[in-house]
Structure 1
Amino acid sequence: MIRAATTHLLAATLALALTHRAEAAGETTAPPRPTGQIMKLRLTINGKAASATLQDNPTTRDFVALLPLSFTMKDLFGREKFAHLPRALTEGGERRRDYAIGDVIYWSPGPDVAIYYRHDGTPIPSPGVIVLGRIDGSVAALEVPGSVEVTIAAE
């Protein structure tokens, strides 16, 4: 019992020292989010609020590091809205050649983020997409002709 208490005290002291050292060096980055934790997004699509639940994979965690983002998402094939990202993401998620309505995906050749609002039965060309997450509820705000203004932030 004394050994366990000593171990916990040493771990806490080390964490405090590292935090103090980082603050003294001017570092203000938050500690990494533990894996397995549910991550959520807040989206504003043409002024309408939506949310999404994210998958836990390296690509998604890299995407969250870019947030918040605001951009014009263009329509593609009458099934998805997409926008270019400021940089390529880590490609650590599972690649897929299919999708579901509401999927929020990463298309690495862009590099783009896209949200599917209609399914036309066409498979995704190679190299496929990495699913970042899924819209919670309706995708009606995306079912409009042309482009939409979108803001995405971590919840």
Structure 2
Amino acid sequence: MLSLAAFLPLHANHQHIIEGSTMNTSGPYKINITIGDTILTATLYDNPTTRDLIALLPLDLTLEDYAATEKICYLPQKLSQTDAPSGFDPSVGDITYYAPWGNLAIFYKDFGYASGLISLGKIDHSIEAFNKSGSINVRIELSESSRR
């Protein structure tokens, strides 16, 4: 599902118009990740990759288990790699973008350095909802606190 916000230009005051409201684009950003009746909050960092992800929100995704370490899914489009480091060493709760595959990855176990992995942010509290086998359906959306 592609949001019209992906096509709206940045204004001089660094705000996007998203679904009738405005969003401050100077991060960090707060998002809600809904899994069934559970709502997790996360903080996203201000970088070009994150801003591309935010432009796609809200997203309804099915996250598949990968290597009993992370939940992954492909996004509707590739995200920017501008100014991204060559890789990242993720830990529990990290939200990342794996540029070579074009997928979102949320880590529920520690993992070593991976080339092409870009840090987007971190789950604010418990990640237990991700720590189970199989796929999970999630909705990711910008929280009201990130809209002004």
TM-score (normalised: structure 1)? 0.73
How far has the Cα of 1:122 moved from its partner? 3.7
Aligned residue among 44, 54, 64 for 2:54: 64
Q: What are the ranges of 5 or more consecutive residues in structure 2 without an aligned counterpart?
A: 1-11, 13-18, 144-148
Preserved contact between residue 106 and residue 132 of structure 1 (Cα < 8 Å) = yes
Count of aligned positions: 125
Letter in 2 for 1:99: P
CA distance in 2, matches of 1:30, 1:146: 36
Q: Distance in 1 between matches of 2:23 and 2:129?
A: 32
| Identical-pair percentage | 38
Matched, 1:141 2:129: yes
8 Å contact kept, 2:90–2:112: no
Gaps in structure 1 of 5+ consecutive residues: 1-14, 16-27
Which protein is bigger by CA-based radius of gyration?
A: 1
Runs of 4 or more, structure 1, over 6 Å off, are 28-32
Alignment-mate amino acid for residue 112 of structure 1: N
Aligned residues: CA RMSD: 2.1
Which structure has greater strand proportion?
2
Are 1:81 and 2:71 an aligned pair? yes
Shift of 1:108: 1.1
Distance in 1 (alpha carbons) for counterparts of 2:22 and 2:40: 27
- Are the equivalent residues in 1 in contact too, given 2:88–2:118 (CA < 8 A)? no
Q: Which amino acid aligns with 1:61?
A: R
Q: TM-score, normalised by structure 2?
A: 0.76
Counterpart mapping for 1:3-152 below 5 A: 33-35=24-26, 37-92=27-82, 93-119=84-110, 121-124=111-114, 126=115, 128-152=116-140
Deviations 1:63-98 (A, max 9, x none): 100000011100000000001000001112334231
CA deviation profile, 1:36-69 (whole Å, cap 9, x unmatched): x321110012431101001010110111000000
